[in-house]
Structure 1
Amino acid sequence: MTQIDDAHFRDATAIVTLIRRGQIRCVEVLDLALARYDAINPRLNAVIAARIEEARAKAQKADADLAKGAPPQALFGLPMTVKDGFDVEGLPATSGDKIWARRNPACKDAEAVALLRQAGANLWGKTNVPKRLADLQTYNEIYGATRNPWALDRTCGGSSGGAAVAVAAGISALELGSDLGGSLRIPAAFCGIYSLRPTWGAISMVGCVPPEPGIEAEFDMWTAGPMARSARDLRLAFGVLAGSAQRGTAQRRPDLRGKRIGLWVEEPGFPLASAIGQRLIDAGSALSQAGAVVDLAPPPVRGDELVDVFLWLLLAQTGADFTDAQRKALNWLRPWFAHQAKNAVHPHTKAGYALRVLASHRDWLKADIRRQAIRQAMARHFDQWDALLCPAAPVTAFPHQTDKDFIEREIAVDGKAQPYGVLFNWIALASACGLPVVTLPMGFDAGGLPIGAQLIGKPGSEEDLIDLAEAMEEVTGRFMPPPI
């Protein structure tokens, strides 16, 4: 790479440090980001809205303030884009849906966005999402599909797909995304970057969809989190988003020695590409050699129970958007859905999903009771282990699939067709239990596509997980710029 290319792929911590030291101006940093945006966004379609002149004026003011001796905040002068599921003042809020776009003018910042702005970030653009953030690929009828910078014919994942591409491709050093059913983790894995899904409730979701625009409520399992090119940037961003910017800039000394890492790479009914499983096993060996205590330690709960509980909780929320007329039209089929789901070989069927979409409050409570049992079992598990290392997805990025409905799609795992819904399998545990997760790059498959892994911890262990991910960078792999 040339020096100019290197500059595009600095992490946020390095950029903010250079600005504070006076080694680069805020305007120069913004111009680098915009040059990259102009050069490659037409091919990638990551950023779907921008306010460039306003951003340049803010950068000029930041430079003037710094020259006058104003103390720089944690993200001072850092150009950023934000996922188009968050309201950002001055930018359109569509969530990839024409109806929602007309109902939401985004007149004020979402609460998480406001924290980024207060910390000095220069928010200049928004990134693409699937319609209503409801897919694990990124495309919609307004803006079209976003492409993976590692292979343009492959998906970038979803729903924070545009965000992941912007970070991976050198357009934005830091992004704000969100995750209910893998929306941070799968795009991070497919694009070879880092993400943090915090403990549920750690970061405000007010001003983010779902729920639909104008409703200031926070959904079960739904959380905001940063996407970045380094583990240390997750620490920086989490400090801001959790309301403790000083904590995010504190000096820490990540160390692998004595860390107890449980490895989870096999589960009945959880398909996994052999290259991904082997990469995680090799990573476990390397971590052991570096002083960590590593052993096979799957969760003390059956995988089919994890997925079943997660799907009840997830799809019950989806059903909340149905009108009374829609529910009435489907309810008479409920006995048939139940019969079909009971006799299915896996839960990812039309009948299985329809049954859960029609969940009653009683159904949800029963699923929640089962979730509490899983949480208690995991609390005991984390008495023995500092983190659980497992796949973020069963495959690397697959070819775009936009011509079929969600439930009709399939993906190939080692050449065998599997239902699209198996993408939920490995992410179900952390989503259902509200556990923090760092997604980190773990090298590449034989085709040169990124492999991503999850580091899952107990509630409130975000900083410990970030420390562990940072220590792992020298051992298991780090962010690498894509060949675009």
Structure 2
Amino acid sequence: MSDLTRCSATELLHLYRTQRASPVETTRAFFARIRELDPLLKAFCWIDEAPALASARASEQRWSRGAPCGPLDGVPVAIKDLILTRGMPTLRGSRSIDPGQPWEIDAPVTARLREAGAVLLGKTTTPEFGCKGETNSPLTGITRNPWDLAKTAGGSSGGTAAAVAAGLCPIAIGTDGAGSVRIPAAFCGNFGLKPSFGRVPAYPLSPFGTVAHLGPHTMSVADAALAMNVMKRPDARDWTALPADESDYCAGLEDGIRGLRIAFSPTLGYAKVDAEVARAVRRAVDRLASMGAHVEQIDPGFDDPLEITTGLWFVGAWTVWSGLTREQQAVTDPDFRAEAELGAGYSALQVQQLNLRRGELGSRMRQFMMHHDLLVTPAVTVPAFDARPAGHSVMNPQAMLGWTPFSYPFNLTQQPACTIPCGLTSAGLPIGLQLVGPMFGDALVLRAARAYEQTQPIPRPPRVPPDARGAR
């Protein structure tokens, strides 16, 4: 293909196999694309071409011998700046962390990607400690949306989503503690998967607790399945990880959804949804029905768990804050500081009560999913809004997550959930459809998303954002 940066990972692997492209020329093409657009997007906070090209050259030699070392050999991948990566700083979007310290440890997902032959391009931006659904921080500034540079990329995996959607890499790895994969995937128009909790091992574990998941961003469902086959491999450092899953998520991906029982909840019983978003999601659900799924409009029957999510989240922020020195605290993001101050007000009894309420929600959803194969909702209530600097609003639960009420419930319940684009607004911004599966139903979520993708392939944003010249 004439432009390797428009290729999916699956397509790149075919080109390598048929010797029509090489990992070296592919890696160089992506770095050229990063140099062209990343000054506008601020999707990357760290790139280092020399190690990546060395990795690509080693991959090229393996392909020339017909002996790739793994299923992602030579595929460029980016890693969110919350995930430890040997040889690259992991600053967590914070000025409080010393970039000059040794960086000698790979997190489990990073180690598995290296073993599979992936070429690691660099680290993608995050708000400080992944603390919010917008990607802005005093360290890296504002990460922008490739569909419209005036709009937010979402967060906290905003750099990850923006990089994939803009063609800066075919696969990028994000984290999701309250929607942080699915929010930016919906805003930037790419596929984003939050697997079942523990399906992808993590180390160190998130200070925000057992709501934190790791998942891939891609421009095709097949690429996400390919990435998950690598990411879900076991690692003993994560004592919360699920038992090893040796299944192939690419197998059965084309089996369709005929006969599946789908619950469609347009509001979850409590959300207010933008009219354009609501119409696009309903059209998408009609497509699912036309493919043979049995669709029933029904709400799961729980109240908005925003108070549970933000209470536990603020306590997590207080935990991180308490581990910083006074000098480090002085240079933190005002939004993170505000979250920590809110967390300081919770008693041990209140935290225990929140966890009990979370358990009730999890039990309700386990029972609900006994009668439904999938739950379908909008991904976010609104399209991407204006990009804003850190500290732009007073921090409270509504400001933090009130506009994304479909995402955080399924961090609390730990279920697999994905976002896939289902149309554009009249202003040309992506709209996301969320598919939620039963616990451990990751392969089913991917299969259903692939069925929908076949009816409406994922569009890419303009090759260069419309106002790029002015933004420069």
TM-score normalized by the length of structure 1 = 0.85
User: Which residue number in structure 2 is paired with residue 127 of structure 1?
Assistant: 124
Are 1:470 and 2:470 an aligned pair? no
Aligned counterpart in structure 2 of residue 227 of structure 1, from 184, 200, 217:
217
Aligned to 2:279: 278
Matched, 1:186 2:166: no
Q: Does the 8 A contact of 1:150 with 1:483 survive in 2?
A: no
Q: Tell me which residue corresponds to 1:461.
A: 441
Which amino acid counterpart does residue 383 of structure 1 have in structure 2?
A: M
Matched to 1:369, the amino acid is L
Instruction: Return the alpha-carbon distance in structure 2 between the equivalents of residues 70 and 351 of structure 1.
Output: 52
Q: Counterparts of 1:196-275 in structure 2 under 5 Å? A: 196-207=193-204, 210-211=206-207, 219-243=209-233, 247-250=248-251, 252-267=253-268, 269-275=270-276
Deviation of 1:177 (Å): 0.6
CA distance in 2, matches of 1:77, 1:453: 31
Q: How many residues align?
A: 442
* 1:478 Cα offset (Å): 2.1
Tell me: CA distance 1:103–1:309, structure 2 relative to 1, closer, same or farther (3 Å). farther
Q: Deviations over 1:70-123 (max 9, x none)?
A: 244110111111111111111121111111234854222111110111111011
With over 3 angstroms needed to count, the CA separation of the structure-2 counterparts of 1:263 and 1:20, relative to structure 1, is: same
- Which residue is equivalent to 2:46? 49
8 Å Cα contact 2:142/2:388 also seen in 1: no
Does 2:402 match 1:422? yes
Q: Who is 2:62 aligned against? A: 65
Aligned counterpart in structure 1 of residue 29 of structure 2, from 23, 28, 32: 32
> Is 2:272–2:381's contact at 8 Å kept on the other side of the alignment?
yes
What displacement does 1:250 show?
3.5
Q: Give the residue type in structure 1 aligned to 2:136.
A: Y
Matches within 5 A, 1:149-164: 149-164=146-161
How far apart are the structure 2 equivalents of 1:408 and 1:247? 43
Report what 1:308 is aligned to.
307
| Corresponding position of 1:340 | none
**Secondary structure in 1 matching 2:422:** strand
* Partner SS for 2:394: helix
What is the TM-score of this pair, normalised by structure 2? 0.87
Cα offset, 1:394, TM superposition:
1.3
1:374 alignment partner AA: L
Q: CA deviation at 1:408?
A: 5.0
Any idea what the Cα deviations from partners look like across 1:342-398, whole Å, max 9, x if unmatched? xxxxxxxx9999665522332222222222221121112111211111122111110
- The 5 Å alignment of 1:437-448 reads 437-448=417-428
1:114–1:387 Cα change, 3 Å: same
Give the corresponding residue for 1:346. none
* 2:255 aligned partner, one-letter code: P
Give the drift of 1:319: 2.5
Identical aligned residues as a percent: 29
Contact 1:194 1:440 (C-alpha < 8 Å) held by counterparts? yes
Supply the distance in 1 between the matched residues of 2:163 and 2:338 (Cα, whole angstroms): 37
For residue 129 of structure 2, give the secondary structure of its aligned residue in structure 1.
helix
Unaligned runs of at least 5 residues, structure 1: 212-217, 327-349, 411-417
The alignment's C-alpha RMSD in Å is 2.6
Residue in 2 that maps onto 1:215:
none
CA distance in 2, matches of 1:33, 1:355: 42
Matches of 2:323 and 2:113 in 1, distance apart? 39
Larger relative helix fraction: 1
For residues 21 and 45 of structure 1, what CA distance do their matches in structure 2 show? 34
Give 1:146's match in structure 2, choosing from 143, 148, 153. 143
Which of 337, 355, 371 aligns to 1:368? It is 355
Tell me how far apart the structure 2 counterparts of residues 295 and 477 of structure 1 sit (CA, whole Å): 25
Question: Partners in 1 of 2:324 and 2:40 — Cα distance?
Answer: 42
* Structure 2, unpaired ranges of 5+: 234-244, 326-336, 465-472
Q: Does the residue aligned with 1:206 lie in a helix, a strand or coil? A: coil
Q: Is the 8 A contact 1:319 1:359 kept in 2?
A: no
Report the Cα distance in structure 2 between the residues aligned to 1:87 and 1:324, rounded to whole angstroms: 19
SS where residue 247 of structure 1 aligns? coil
Q: Which moved more, 1:240-249 or 1:68-77?
A: 240-249
Deviation at 1:245, TM superposition (A): 7.4
Shift of 1:419: 4.2
Distance in 2 (CA, whole Å) between partners of 1:67 and 1:392 is 43
Shift of 1:315: 2.1
| Local SS of the residue matching 1:176 | strand
Preserved contact between residue 257 and residue 448 of structure 2 (Cα < 8 Å):
yes
Structure 2 residue aligned with 1:176? 173
Against the structure 1 CA distance between its residues 459 and 251, is the aligned structure 2 distance closer, same or farther, given a 3 Å change threshold?
A: closer
Match of 1:74 in 2: 71
Contact 2:161–2:184 at 8 Å: present in 1 too?
yes
Relative to structure 1, the CA distance from residue 232 to residue 405 in structure 2 (aligned partners, 3 Å threshold; closer, same or farther) is same
Hey, what's the Cα distance between the residues in 1 that align with 2:323 and 2:111?
36
Structure 1 residue 18 displacement after superposition: 2.0
1:324 and 1:250 mapped to 2: Cα distance? 45
Instruction: Give the match's secondary structure for 2:97.
Output: helix
- Find 1:380's aligned residue among 346, 349, 367: 367
Distance 1:160 1:409, change over 3 A: same
Query: Per the alignment, do residues 104 and 278 of structure 1 end up closer, same or farther by CA in structure 2, a change over 3 Å counting?
Result: farther
Structure 1 residues 402 and 355, CA, compared in 2 at 3 Å: closer, same or farther?
Answer: closer
* Contact 2:44–2:123 under 8 Å retained in 1: yes
Match of 2:379 among 392, 400, 403: 392
8 A contact 2:254–2:450 mirrored in 1: no
Quickly say closer, same or farther: Cα 1:141–1:245, change in 2 above 3 A. farther
2:296 aligned with 1:295: yes
Instruction: Tell me the equivalent position of 2:429.
Output: 449
1:184 Cα deviation from its structure 2 partner = 0.5
Mapped partners of 2:75, 2:426: distance in 1: 35
- 1:114 to 2:111 alignment: yes
Which amino acid is 2:54 matched to? A
2:446 partner amino acid:
I
- Which piece of structure 1 moves more, 263-272 or 225-234? 263-272
- 8 Å CA contact retained: 1:307, 1:424: no
The CA distance in 1 between the partners of 2:343 and 2:94, in whole Å, is 24
In 2: Cα distance, 1:324 partner to 1:98 partner: 15
Q: What pairs with 1:349-368 in structure 2 (closer than 5 Å)?
A: 357-368=344-355
* 1:291-335, Cα deviation, whole Å (9 max, x unpaired): 1111212112122xx222222322222232344999xxxxxxxxx
1:335 matched residue in structure 2: none
Measure, in 2, the Cα distance between the counterparts of 1:359 and 1:448. Answer: 42
